[in-house]
Structure 1
Amino acid sequence: MAVSHTGPEILHERREQRLTLLLLAPALAIVICLLVLPLLWLAWQSIRADGGFTLVNYQRFLTDDIYLISFLQTFRIAIIVTVVTLLLGYPVAYAASMAPRHWSVLILAAVVLPFWTSVLVRAYAWLILLQRRGLVNSALMDMGLIDSPLLLVNNEFGTVLATIHILLPFMVLPLYATMQKIPRELTMAGSSLGGSPVFVFTRVFLPLSMPGVIAGMVLVFVLTLGFYITPELLGGGRTFMVSMLVSRNIEIYHEWGAASSISVVLLLSVFLIFRLSTKLVPFERIMGTR
């Protein structure tokens, strides 16, 4: 026999719901004012021209080659940076998760240390290191390995290298957080049943670390898509990413509509990436809440 809710219980439940909404109201107001309204304004700017409706800003993606070139270069750099940071960050996170506590703290401190320096300073540091008469070229020439300076900066290579250095911690930390939650008993059980270290790693540890891999890849990929300072300083005009395209439309051409349309397309691309990533791994596992 079903038990029905009494009148006082329903009133109490509704009172709790109203109280919850009241407590959430300040946070909701901040989100609406600082996130929702600016995004709506951005979308409106992209389709407004002289007080009317227009799609000319979006048509430029089909008619202006610089838009396509910029997006392709941005996504190519983002893919390269994501793959390289994963290849470099996974062993570091694995070592930190398996090492004794004092070594683990030391490894993580070395990873987090760059956060104490601004992105602008790190970009200028790489510019000094990689320029034609920088420390890298000077050292290689002094050792007789090269006869003339290598072109390490003012191109895509310098941009990718500096971006990898800046974003590597964003790959290591999600990986380490996931690896820390993997029960060591599982790998020990695999070894005790006759599995080789490679077999246990590939069949037990690696699949369990995939939420951290997905989280780190999505985080690094999305952050790379919006990078501005690093490609501006190290690209030398040869690396033209989407953020720079937005900046040029505003600073030089004063085309707020064009800049807004670029931002909207990039934002939709990011949402699509998140959607695809949650298809592979549930959002709760990516965030580490399950």
Structure 2
Amino acid sequence: MTSAAEAGAHVDQPAATGNPHGGSTPSREAKRRRGLAGLADAWGVLALPVAFYLLLVIVVPLAIIFARSFTDPTLGIQNYRDFFSNSIYTDVLVNTFVTAFTVTLVTLAIGYPYAYLMVIAPAFWRKVLLVVVLVPFWTSLLVRSFALVLLLRDTGVVNETLQTWGLTEAPITLVRNFTGVLIGMVQVMLPFMVLPLYAAMSGVDRRLLQAAEGMGARPAFAFWRIFVPLTGAGVAAGSLLVFIQSLGFYITPALLGGPKDVMLGELIVQQVSTILNWGFAAALAAVLLVTTMLLLAIASRFVDVGKMFWKDAR
């Protein structure tokens, strides 16, 4: 019969953990967490130069712009009063957002089928389509805009071809108007729409469409009810990229647009380079930035902006 002392000694013995010294061995999960913590600390140190660079080239200039909009030429909000009291300037602001929104819609209408074609095309043709959409990244924006002026003017290749084929009797005005601005901005922004769409479409399991069709759904119905909703994150990401970047366009509207198609970026350049009104130009930039951030804040109430760009956003 075991005595109480023996039972107590038996209870006090360390459990068998595989450690010859009787200590507890850290679990794999604890080791993994410590390793991740150390890796996070290392990445934090490496990120300091990047954070300092962003602070230097983004945060500080923005702070200077905001400060100058209230101090140049006099202390106060006179620059903002001048902006909102003049209908010409507010019309330019409205035209900027209308143009950016229209460019986003047209780019989405062109980019979505193009990205889908890249997904279903064979490997060779997929590479060809990818190279075609990446061409704008390899050429100068100024060169492309001048090339469009030569192509779209009244005596350009497009009008000459249309008249030669008998499709038109007189040249169609394609430059110095909203049409020219739209064409120019769409061809610049197309890669920023196609690439997020292609990334989202590539992650969709096409067997879902086959399963829906096997259950009696028509191909078009399966596409719209299954494939399109699953690519919503790509649509949102591409649309956001195109819209935000379109707000700051200057070269393309200046070369292809007319007096009624002035955008805020062009107006800011005029205030800086021609009139030398730095305070008012700073106010214009501040208005554009604040308005854009407000729109993003409103959009974030309906769409998870984080999940547009990375899957693990919380």
TM-score (norm 2): 0.82
Further displaced range: 52-61 or 151-160: 52-61
Looking at structure 2, the residues matched to 107 and 33 of structure 1 have their Cα atoms a distance apart, in angstroms, of 39
Say whether residues 1:28 and 2:54 are aligned partners: no
Conservation of the 8 A alpha-carbon contact between 1:178 and 1:288: no
Conservation of the 8 A alpha-carbon contact between 2:184 and 2:252: yes
Consecutive unaligned residues in structure 2, runs of 5 or more:
1-35
Partner of residue 139 from structure 1, selected from 158, 161, 164 = 161
> 1:58 is aligned with what amino acid?
Y
Conservation of the 8 A alpha-carbon contact between 1:154 and 1:238: no
Q: 1:15 to 1:235 in 2, by over 3 A?
A: closer
Q: 1:19 to 1:112 in 2, by over 3 A?
A: closer
How far is 1:19 from its partner?
5.9
Match of 1:231 in 2: 253
How far is 1:229 from its partner?
0.6
How far is 1:20 from its partner?
5.7
> What secondary structure sits across from 1:105 in the alignment?
helix
Further displaced range: 272-281 or 37-46: 272-281
Q: 1:174 to 1:14 in 2, by over 3 A?
A: closer
How far is 1:144 from its partner?
3.0
Match of 1:81 in 2: 103
How far is 1:136 from its partner?
1.5
> What secondary structure sits across from 1:53 in the alignment?
coil
> 2:264 is aligned with what amino acid?
V
Match of 1:42 in 2: 65
Consecutive unaligned residues in structure 1, runs of 5 or more:
1-12
How far is 1:238 from its partner?
3.6
Conservation of the 8 A alpha-carbon contact between 2:72 and 2:278: no
Partner of residue 150 from structure 2, selected from 121, 125, 128 = 128
> In the TM superposition, what whole-angstrom CA distance separates every residue of 1:78-136 from its partner, at most 9, and x where no partner exists?
11111111111100111111222222222212211222211111101110011121111
> What secondary structure sits across from 1:194 in the alignment?
coil
> In the TM superposition, what whole-angstrom CA distance separates every residue of 1:225-270 from its partner, at most 9, and x where no partner exists?
1111101111143421100110111122211111111111111222
Conservation of the 8 A alpha-carbon contact between 1:214 and 1:277: no
Number of aligned residues: 278
TM-score (norm 1): 0.89
Match of 1:287 in 2: 309
Further displaced range: 55-64 or 212-221: 55-64
Identity %: 36
Match of 2:15 in 1: none
RMSD: 2.2
Q: 1:110 to 1:17 in 2, by over 3 A?
A: closer
Answer with 1 or 2: which has the greater Rg. 2
> 2:51 is aligned with what amino acid?
L
How far is 1:289 from its partner?
2.8
> 1:102 is aligned with what amino acid?
F
> What secondary structure sits across from 1:146 in the alignment?
coil
Say whether residues 1:160 and 2:182 are aligned partners: yes
Q: 1:15 to 1:201 in 2, by over 3 A?
A: closer
Match of 2:198 in 1: 176
